[in-house]
Amino acid sequence: MSQDSPLFAPTQLGSITLANRVVMAPMTRNRSPGLTPNALNAAYYTQRASAGLIITEGTAPERMGHGYIDIPGLYNAAQIEGWRAVAAAVHAKDGKIAAQLMHVGRISHPDLLDGETPIGPSAIAAKGDMYTHTGMKPLPVPRAMTEAEIARAIASYGSAAKNAVAAGLDGIEIHAANGYLPSQFLATNANQRTDEWGGSIPNRARFALAAVDAAVAAIGAGRVGIRVSPGGTFNDIQDDDVEGTYTHLFKALAPKGLAWLHIMGTPKDLDIAALAKKHYGGKVILAAGYDRAKAEADIGAGRAEAIAFGVPFLANPDLPARLRANAPLNAPDIGKFYGGGAAGYTDYPTLAA
């Protein structure tokens, strides 16, 4: 019976009470012209307010954190007001919403940064191309961050977290996955520094932990989560010792009292969820490739407190109701994932439609 399913039971993630364990995963949609949330974005998130928790698309904590066209930020007054409207609309539907803070580091281009060279741990370009306003261009060699730039980037997580709460959002998630800036510091191929920010695992983990500390100092641990992708290679990331890196990171995060640890995917031959439960011990969200049966199994086995769904939520605004009823899911319109308007964004039908 669905009413007995752990997937639809309430839970607590830090200071945030979730009505169910179905989390909307962060997904970039490139529909915030001017780098500012708008009414269409508010409609999109409000349609999905039945999630236990919405984690927003990646949102830049500072201007140098932008790496994609028309993604929002959380560092100026207009952006705060835009997010205020989103939060109010979601809360009016009894939803909960947290902003994912995404500093892309080297995964950017001068065309997207007013001519500035992107920054990263080391002057090592990621393999691949970046979509700009004038088409696809190779990812450039970033500028190796100075101590002052590292300090500024870390501080931006705290200021953006404060802005998120000022806008009425329920919390934030630090994006330390998928080859973005904290992930770049963790990665042995992207971080070849010889100072305190590179080399050993503790040094490479220092940036991610400092970003967490900045956010916690700004808004309290009960409103802060972090997302990681152990063993992931997206955006040309490589880690020569995944188990060692994440054993250290999980142990270092354990005493901080965060609201959640969000784990995307898992490498072969390593049970990351078990590693997290052993060394982190707090609330865990698991993501990637879940359906109802797999979600219920992992929650029931104590491997996670909640499960994040990505593309299924994109195409099914009422995903919790569909999962509960074992109803068919809408097929996503892949050609409209990124950019555009309401089509493929706010026009997917609900069960009640």
Active site residue 345: no
What per-residue confidence (pLDDT) applies to 64? 97
What per-residue confidence (pLDDT) applies to 1? 37
What per-residue confidence (pLDDT) applies to 265? 87
* 324's tokens: 């509960």
What per-residue confidence (pLDDT) applies to 220? 98
2-336 falls under which CATH superfamily?
Answer: Aldolase class I (3.20.20.70)
- Residue of 180, 246, 280, 290 marked active site: 180
What per-residue confidence (pLDDT) applies to 3? 56
3-state SS of the chain? CHHHCHHHCCEEECCEEECCCEEECCCCCCCCHHHCCCHHHHHHHHHCCCCCEEEEEEEECCHHHCCCCCCCECCCHHHHHHHHHHHHHHHHCCCCEEEEECCCCCCCCHHHCCCCCCEECCCCCCCCEEEECCEEEECCCCEECCHHHHHHHHHHHHHHHHHHHHCCCCEEEEECCCCCHHHHHHCCCCCCCCCCCCCCHHHHHHHHHHHHHHHHHHHCHHHEEEEECCCCCCCCCCCCCHHHHHHHHHHHHHHHCCCEEEEECCCCCCCHHHHHHHHCCCCEEEECCCCHHHHHHHHHCCCCCEEEECHHHHHCCCHHHHHHHCCCCCCCCHHHCCCCCCCCCCCCCCCCC
Tell me the domain boundaries of the chain: 2-336
What per-residue confidence (pLDDT) applies to 266? 81
**Model pTM score:** 0.97
What per-residue confidence (pLDDT) applies to 2? 47
320 CB burial (10 A radius; 0-12, 13-18, 19+): buried
pLDDT in tens, the chain (353 residues): 345 899 999 999 999 999 999 999 999 999 999 999 999 999 999 999 999 999 999 999 999 999 999 999 999 999 999 999 999 999 999 999 999 999 999 999 999 999 999 999 999 999 999 999 899 999 999 999 999 999 999 999 999 999 999 999 999 999 999 999 999 999 999 999 999 999 999 999 999 999 999 999 999 999 999 999 999 999 999 999 999 999 999 999 999 999 999 999 888 889 999 999 999 999 999 999 999 999 999 999 999 999 999 999 999 999 999 999 999 999 999 999 999 999 999 999 999 86
